[in-house]
Amino acid sequence: MMGLLALVVAMPIIVVMLSWLLPEHELWTHFSENLLSSLISSTGILLLGVGVGVTLLGTVLAYLVVMVEFPGRKWLEWALFLPFAIPAYVLAFVYLGVFDYSGYAQVWMREVLGLPGFDIRAGSWAIILTFLLVFYPYVYMMTRASFKRQKINMIEAGKLLGAGPFKVFFKISLPLARPAAAAGLLVTLMETLADFGVVSLFNYDTFTTAIYSAWGDFRSIEVAAQLASLLVLVAFFLIYFEKKARGQAKYYSANVSTIRPYHPKGSVAWLITLFVFGVFMLSFAMPMLQLVIWAWGAFADEWSANYIDLLISTSSLTIIAAMITVIIATMLALPGRCKRGSIWLKGMVRLATLGYALPGSVMAVGLLYGINQISVINIYFGGESINHIIYGSILLLLFAYVSRFMAIAYSSIDASAQQIKPVFTQTARLLGASRMRLIWQVYLPMMMPGILAGGLLVAVDVMKELPATYLLRPFGWDTLAIQTFELSAEGLFERAAVPALMMVAFGALIMMVFRYLDKKSSKAS
């Protein structure tokens, strides 16, 4: 039953894998002779740079806010989540506007400092930095939770043995936080692989570029799917390594400590504040300011009653999709499912969580083709086509969201399910609890932090999602992301800032709800 559910979620991915049944040699020859080697190396450099960067930045930030007391820590701890609310392509857009050759920052540098200008999009460093500032919250979020659960006496023991904060970080905290960091890293790398918005603004070629070229330029949906299936393969290995890192996870103490072991003095504390605040400025405050400046003048032109509709459809899609995804992910992650056939279930779940590495539009087309195939089979057996029922209906779009974002919901919820030791199940059974009671009263409440975090991540991602929404939405279901894209694609950046700001505000709202629920649930456990 659960395996079947996972199979349905995995359908678009399976369709993508099946594309190998229709080989196309000529285009492959062209790609492998002229594109592939450089694409693989540029994608590799990007993944490496972003991976190392987010792991360092995310863990260091999390360690600082959890273990060290410094001025402004309390609000910075939450402020560091805010970049989640900004879509990557919007951030990239603002950065280019400010730091490209014609941006204020470089103009100031040339005119006031007399330095030579440079092409910020040459090489890989600028795009790596951009991804770093967009995606560090994933690692930050996961490692922060893990640092909080670390036994304070372990840190105390380290301190007694004469280890300084650096040694404690590298010898005790970091190894303990490794599974959490790996989970955050996995999400980041899959997002980076699937990204199309940022790479096209920087005109940086990755594997996704080839996928779009096969589809858009050579009209070969087959080769596009074949290339995409290679991404799925990469994602598979990434998940494998993440599982390995997590395999050594220790059980955390349930005690959440609020004691901060380190209280640096004066200037050191302020230096830490400066660093953390600097990250917040670059990743959130500065881009927000730019958006506000753009939106200020254009608001009167751009605002209309239409925005009420955009808000309603964006929030409806966000909430419904997040709920469905979380419910399915929870069902798949519940401990002690069936004992036999668990290999088939494991395999299906693995497959169902690979969609995150696929670009949204590839996922969407995989879905359309999959449903078309079901219709073909149905007609063959004397039935009717289901295309007209499914195409252009909201169900299709929700399906795409669920398939695409299953990985983030599942990894977060599964991590919390892993922490339910078998002894809890055994205790409950010995006390006469039925399976239903076990689920509702033991598993779900204990998984709640993971469920909430998964729901938050999916909600924010659905809100920002562009390519699948653009292709699959029914009439009248335009979202803020689509409005932002349409205006900015025509170069109307000032007007595009209006829906972009609304998206950020909406994302911040989701985060506040999450913070409230998170506090409530962590009080109880």
Considering only residues 483 through 502, tell me which ones interact with another protein, judged by CB under 8 A. Answer: 483, 486-487, 489-492
> Does 458 help bind another protein (rule: CB under 8 A)?
no
Figure out which of the listed residues 19, 55, 208, 213 binds another protein, where binding follows CB under 8 A: 213
Closest CA to 195 of 440, 314, 403, 361: 361
Q: How far is the CB of 521 from another protein (least distance, A)?
A: 8
> In this complex, which beta carbon is closest to another protein, that of residue 122 or of residue 292?
122
Q: What is the DSSP string of 457-505?
A: HHHHHHHH--HHHHHHPPTT---HHHHHHHHHHTT-HHHHHHHHHHHHH
Contact track, another protein, 256-275, x by CB under 8 A: x-------------------
- Structure token pair of residue 223: 């080769």
Q: Please choose, out of 132-140, 286-294, 341-349, 443-451, the segment that lies near another protein by the rule CB under 8 A.
A: 443-451
- In the set 20, 32, 48, 117, which binds another protein (CB under 8 A)? 117
Instruction: Compute the distance between CA of residue 40 and CA of residue 209 in angstroms, rounded to an integer.
Output: 11
DSSP-assigned letter for residue 171: I
CB-nearer residue toward another protein: 75 or 112: 112
| Minimum CB–partner distance for residue 410 and another protein (Å) | 18
Binding residues among 80-109 for another protein as defined by CB under 8 A: 96, 100-102, 106-107
Q: Which stretch binds another protein (CB under 8 A): 164-172, 226-234, 408-416, 427-435?
A: 427-435
Q: CA-to-CA distance for 109 and 117, rounded, in angstroms?
A: 8
Q: Is 29 in the site for another protein (CB under 8 A)?
A: no
Residues 276-335 close enough to bind another protein by CB under 8 A = 316, 319-320, 323-324, 327
Q: What are phi and psi of 259, to 5 degrees?
A: -80, 135
Residues pairing with 262 in the sheet: 68
CA-based nearest residue to 355, from 1, 4, 7: 7
- Out of 32, 37, 41, 255, the residue judged to bind another protein by CB under 8 A: 255
Nearer to another protein, 263 or 388 (CB): 388
Cα–Cα distance for residue pair 282/38, rounded to 1 Å:
31
Taking the least distance from each CB to another protein, the nearer of 322 and 501 is: 322
Closer of 100 and 465 to another protein (Cβ):
100
Q: Segment 378-417, which members bind another protein (CB under 8 A)?
A: 385, 387-388, 391-395, 398
**Residues from 189 through 208 that contact another protein (CB under 8 A):** 200-203, 205
Secondary structure of 177-236 in HEC code, one letter for each residue: HHHHHHHHHHHHHHHHHHCCHHHHHHCCCCHHHHHHHHHHHCCCHHHHHHHHHHHHHHHH
57 neighbors 187 (Cβ within 8 angstroms) = no
